[in-house]
Structure 1
Amino acid sequence: MGCCISRENNPEKQPKNNNSNPVVHHHQQTPASDVGGGGIVIVPSGVPAFAEFSFADLKAATNNFSSEFIVSESGEKAPNVVYKGHLKNQQWIAVKKFTKLAWPDPKQFAEEAWGVGKLRHSRLANLIGYCCDGDERLLVAEFMPNDTLAKHLFHCKGEKQTIEWAMRLRVALNVAEALDYCSSEGRPLYHDLNAYRVLFDENGDPRLSCFGLMKNSRDGRSYSTNLAYTPPEYHRNGKVTPESVIYSFGTILLDLLSGKHIPPSHALDMIRSKNLNLLMDSHLEGKFSTEEATVVVNLASLCLHNEPRERPNTKDLVSTLSPLNTNPDVASLVMLGVSKQEDAQATATPQRPLSPMGEACSRMDLTAIHQLLVMTHYREDEGTNELSFQEWTQQMRDMLEARKRGDHAFKDKDFKTAIDCYSQFINVGIMVSPTVYARRSLCYLMNDQADAALRDAMQAQCVHPDWPTAFYMQSVALAKLDMQKDAVDMLNEASCLEEKKQKVGRS
């Protein structure tokens, strides 16, 4: 079991103690100042030292990787799924499960995990272990119970509820400090930095997920979401650089400013026209400092500079944002508007009238959902892809032909063929389509594959964060997985988003 490599970049297979908790082997390069008596590593805030877990440990912690333990707001690209887990010592953990194809070389996986596992910082959701058992490849991190930045920014919880301005500034600074720490420790590359990677801990403090620090694996791109949000140089060479991480940080600043996931090119047009009010989140009207917002806008525009060498570095980010955080004594939970314990119970019915899609999802009427998806075609995909003329290659034509075959099969209710065709389209990776993910999600439901359906619905949400259909499909998949409370919550969020969209359309 495990992969056998020496501790100097080759950590041996770790023995386990009698209570099934891992025996920690401390990394050889721990600084002397971080080592207590007897060689015990002192880590900040009680974070466990990095260890290897057995597959049995993690299987038990996640109830055999039950679908009920899937963290639905992970933003991870399928098939890499994140689960929450509960160890015998009562510690909650987050477990990211890869396929063997993602990391075929166990030595490389273990070395990379140990490299990230050396990092310890209060601004990170720290990596606390890994498992490399046969074909299994898993990472273990601290569990963050208060959802993601994407959840709090993009997902409707009522007209009056939003993240207040001071909290948005705290998020920006904490992420900048996390990136600066990682850079200072020789880990400047972060893959697919976005609002789903920013997590909130039990105190409501924003932290950066450690999973993005792992080198890109074989099963996916470093930027798994909409191509319109990726650094321009990544289109040319497909490589993540420290400068491209800064670009991605700029997109997070746009998210914080606008409360929406808008393409950088559109935001930069607003910035150049000096139309700050058009860019800012309408929920913040009259509740933010124009001077502070101007500083953040200017920093975002620098981060999004087309020339990588013109972008600021991580120390510049911290020095610019630090003076804006003037109320450090206010608790993050208060700013975030959440309590330590959630008292709300799932209700049997949603909180507002439902649209035809909402009604169909509430009834779990897959036939009706199919008819509605056929009728809507691809009109929700507008604006989710920005492609140059050069990108319309033979590969693109073949990919669109695969989608066309999938559409014919979908319309004819040949759902297995549709899955195959849509998978061909998705796997090419040149173009992303929330509609294809939603259609394939329904195809999986028609074939009793609710786990796969949920992952596709989550991917549709990643591509199009405020699209109600993505949430509706998640609701149906969650209900199929007997996660009734989550299904009802997701149905309510979808309905709220749809209602908000209709109001905008009428105004």
Structure 2
Amino acid sequence: MGARCSKFSICWFQSHLKASVLESSDLENGGKGEKNTWPSFSEFSLEQLKAATCGFSSDNIVSEHGEKAPNVVFKGKLDNDRWVAVKRFNKFAWPDSRQFLEEARAVGSLRSERLANLIGCCYEGEERLLVAEFMPNETLAKHLFHWENQPMKWAMRLRVALYLAQALEYCSSKGRALYHDLNAYRILFDNDGNPRLSCFGLMKNSRDGKSYSTNLAFTPPEYLRTGRVTPESVVYSFGTLMLDLMSGKHIPPSHALDLIRSKNFLMLMDSALEGHFSNDDGTELVRLASRCLQYEARERPNAKSLVTSLLSLQKEAEVPSYVLMGIPQGTASPKQPLSLTPFGEACLRLDLTAIHEILEKMGYKDDEGIANELSFQMWTSQMQETLNSKKHGDTAFRAKDFASAVDCYTQFIDVGTMVSPTVYARRCLSYLMNDRPQEALGDAMQAQVVSPEWPTALYLQAACLFSLGMESDGQETLKDSTSLEAKRSKN
């Protein structure tokens, strides 16, 4: 428990977590808890990759990574049971093996939850191969244009746009702002249904083809003039992807801009989404897309400003991607599932209503050690007023008036003469209900400081971390809270 208290101390929250969440760019290592799950970049032998792909069997060819002939992507399984995607270039793509290795190592140094990361390469004779994380749930193109059971939900489309912008921002921050032929086939879905950007488009200076597809209608205008990819060209392609997400079709930018200029932007929207989004959201997404598609490259936004704009549009942020996508969770995940209590299940699902019911049933029984001290001091008028604040907070909390609950509990806490872990827990949930996860996490950690052996404080920390998008830290904290509760129940 000491390590957990140290890791999530208030100082750490203020100096490290808050900055990373607000900036939305520190996706490196996928949060502290997950950095060791990614392998370091490796150089594979041709024999290893032949064995992994059953001799590059045609049965193992996959279309998930958006590559076209003569470059082919194979699904493979390494000796350690890790599934990988192996891209095999045509023999003229990289004549200089040293240049290939340098470029692969540079891309392989990137690690982000928003990328299908490059984990290795192979260069033997004329063979040039890349090895990346395998994404089992197909491409954005498949889910947008060729869906079978249900169209992609509006909330998921907004999430795809945000995650893609975050991927581009991360790459840009690491000096890899150029991405070649960004399109709906380059966005892949992982075990949990989260969208990832294929690392293959980050490779440059190869001779395996043009940086953009031959369809000139979707090509940035400056690329047609110069033949060079720039960061602004990538933003233009991001704009075309936003059109894809809105319409569910691959609409040429010129046609889309004509509709926008004539104020017929609703004709851009996917008819399958009718009634599932607000006009304000649709207008804002159209505005962002049109900014990305400006003819003059200098008038387009950068990835960082796109992230900022898209963060404010997110819907159903508490719902996991696999639920929004309607796919089984962990299609190829080797992780052992936790045996969770009802409280743990509610935190994992971010079911705030269920958490509220649990906290209500628990009442203040975990404050019993503090209650006697409070009753001794109740005779002072100041104490009576303070206790009234708590009482009003409890009434509001019970009535699900969470804004009032925050105000009343804050009055109780700010006096500072009485300490209640349950009040911190209740204000934590009230903050979560009001979409203020950073403040909520501060309260959950404070509850643990007051009562170090209280599983509820850790459970709520996990819920806050999930709400902040820190999946790996949330999972780690959920394990700790589950273990602590099991240990406590034995005593």
Structure-1-length-normalised TM-score: 0.58
The question of 1:324 aligning with 2:298 is answered no
Query: Which residue in the other structure is 2:74 paired with?
Result: 83
Preserved contact between residue 259 and residue 268 of structure 2 (Cα < 8 Å):
yes
Trace 1:422-461 onto structure 2 (pairs within 5 A): none
- The correspondence for 2:93, drawn from 97, 102, 119, is 102
Preserved contact between residue 65 and residue 198 of structure 2 (Cα < 8 Å):
no
Preserved contact between residue 140 and residue 184 of structure 2 (Cα < 8 Å):
yes
Query: Which residue in the other structure is 1:243 paired with?
Result: 232
Matched AA of 1:73? E
Trace 1:117-132 onto structure 2 (pairs within 5 A): 117-132=108-123
- The correspondence for 1:141, drawn from 121, 129, 132, is 132
Mark the runs of 5 or more structure 2 residues left unpaired by the alignment: 1-27, 332-491
What is the CA–CA distance in structure 1 between the aligned matches of 2:36 and 2:214, rounded to whole Å?
33
Which has the larger displacement, 105-114 or 274-283?
274-283
- The correspondence for 1:189, drawn from 150, 155, 178, is 178
Preserved contact between residue 294 and residue 300 of structure 2 (Cα < 8 Å):
yes
Shift of 1:339: 1.7
Trace 1:12-411 onto structure 2 (pairs within 5 A): 44=35, 46-158=37-149, 161-340=150-329
Q: Deviations over 1:225-262 (max 9, x none)?
A: 42210100111111100000000000000000000001
Matched AA of 2:117? N
What is the CA–CA distance in structure 1 between the aligned matches of 2:50 and 2:107, rounded to whole Å?
23
Structure 1 SS opposite 2:176: coil
What is the CA–CA distance in structure 2 between the aligned matches of 1:335 and 1:42, rounded to whole Å?
25
What is the CA–CA distance in structure 2 between the aligned matches of 1:45 and 1:337, rounded to whole Å?
29
Preserved contact between residue 191 and residue 213 of structure 1 (Cα < 8 Å):
yes
What is the CA–CA distance in structure 1 between the aligned matches of 2:79 and 2:208, rounded to whole Å?
32
What is the CA–CA distance in structure 2 between the aligned matches of 1:95 and 1:54, rounded to whole Å?
12
Shift of 1:75: 2.1
Q: Which structure has the highest helix share of the two?
A: 2
What is the CA–CA distance in structure 1 between the aligned matches of 2:83 and 2:147, rounded to whole Å?
27
Q: Deviations over 1:125-159 (max 9, x none)?
A: 0000000111110000000000000000001415x
Q: Deviations over 1:355-391 (max 9, x none)?
A: xxxxxxxxxxxxxxxxxxxxxxxxxxxxxxxxxxxxx
Structure 2 SS opposite 1:138: strand
Matched AA of 2:146? H
Shift of 1:72: 2.2
Shift of 1:328: 2.2
Query: Which residue in the other structure is 1:366 paired with?
Result: none
How high is the sequence identity, in percent, across the aligned residues?
A: 66
Shift of 1:43: 6.5
What is the CA–CA distance in structure 2 between the aligned matches of 1:83 and 1:49, rounded to whole Å?
21
Preserved contact between residue 158 and residue 315 of structure 2 (Cα < 8 Å):
no
How has the CA–CA distance of structure 1 residues 309 and 341 changed in structure 2, closer, same or farther, with 3 Å as cutoff? closer
How has the CA–CA distance of structure 1 residues 320 and 42 changed in structure 2, closer, same or farther, with 3 Å as cutoff? closer
What is the CA–CA distance in structure 2 between the aligned matches of 1:193 and 1:177, rounded to whole Å?
14
Matched AA of 1:191? H
Structure 2 SS opposite 1:195: coil
User: Displaced runs of 4+ in structure 1, greater than 6 A?
Assistant: none
What is the CA–CA distance in structure 1 between the aligned matches of 2:235 and 2:247, rounded to whole Å?
19
Preserved contact between residue 65 and residue 188 of structure 2 (Cα < 8 Å):
no
Structure 1 SS opposite 2:122: strand
Structure 2 SS opposite 1:196: coil
Matched AA of 1:288? F
Preserved contact between residue 101 and residue 219 of structure 1 (Cα < 8 Å):
yes
How has the CA–CA distance of structure 1 residues 280 and 120 changed in structure 2, closer, same or farther, with 3 Å as cutoff? same
What is the CA–CA distance in structure 2 between the aligned matches of 1:232 and 1:93, rounded to whole Å?
36
Matched AA of 1:144? M
Preserved contact between residue 251 and residue 264 of structure 1 (Cα < 8 Å):
yes
Preserved contact between residue 44 and residue 121 of structure 1 (Cα < 8 Å):
no
Preserved contact between residue 199 and residue 208 of structure 1 (Cα < 8 Å):
yes
Preserved contact between residue 199 and residue 209 of structure 1 (Cα < 8 Å):
yes
Preserved contact between residue 132 and residue 199 of structure 2 (Cα < 8 Å):
yes
Shift of 1:78: 1.4
Matched AA of 2:134? F
Shift of 1:99: 1.7
Structure-2-length-normalised TM-score: 0.60
Q: Deviations over 1:92-132 (max 9, x none)?
A: 00000002200000000000000000100000000000001
Task: Tell me how many residue pairs correspond in the alignment.
Answer: 302
RMSD (Å) for aligned C-alpha atoms: 1.7
Q: Deviations over 1:394-424 (max 9, x none)?
A: xxxxxxxxxxxxxxxxxxxxxxxxxxxxxxx
Preserved contact between residue 191 and residue 330 of structure 2 (Cα < 8 Å):
no
What is the CA–CA distance in structure 2 between the aligned matches of 1:48 and 1:341, rounded to whole Å?
19
What is the CA–CA distance in structure 2 between the aligned matches of 1:303 and 1:286, rounded to whole Å?
26
Q: Deviations over 1:2-21 (max 9, x none)?
A: xxxxxxxxxxxxxxxxxxxx
Structure 1 SS opposite 2:185: helix
Structure 1 SS opposite 2:119: strand
Mark the runs of 5 or more structure 1 residues left unpaired by the alignment: 1-32, 35-40, 343-507
Structure 1 SS opposite 2:151: coil
How has the CA–CA distance of structure 1 residues 216 and 292 changed in structure 2, closer, same or farther, with 3 Å as cutoff? farther
What is the CA–CA distance in structure 2 between the aligned matches of 1:225 and 1:128, rounded to whole Å?
30
What is the CA–CA distance in structure 2 between the aligned matches of 1:263 and 1:44, rounded to whole Å?
40
Preserved contact between residue 44 and residue 122 of structure 1 (Cα < 8 Å):
no
Shift of 1:45: 6.4
Query: Which residue in the other structure is 2:418 paired with?
Result: none
How has the CA–CA distance of structure 1 residues 45 and 271 changed in structure 2, closer, same or farther, with 3 Å as cutoff? farther
Preserved contact between residue 192 and residue 330 of structure 2 (Cα < 8 Å):
no
What is the CA–CA distance in structure 1 between the aligned matches of 2:117 and 2:259, rounded to whole Å?
37
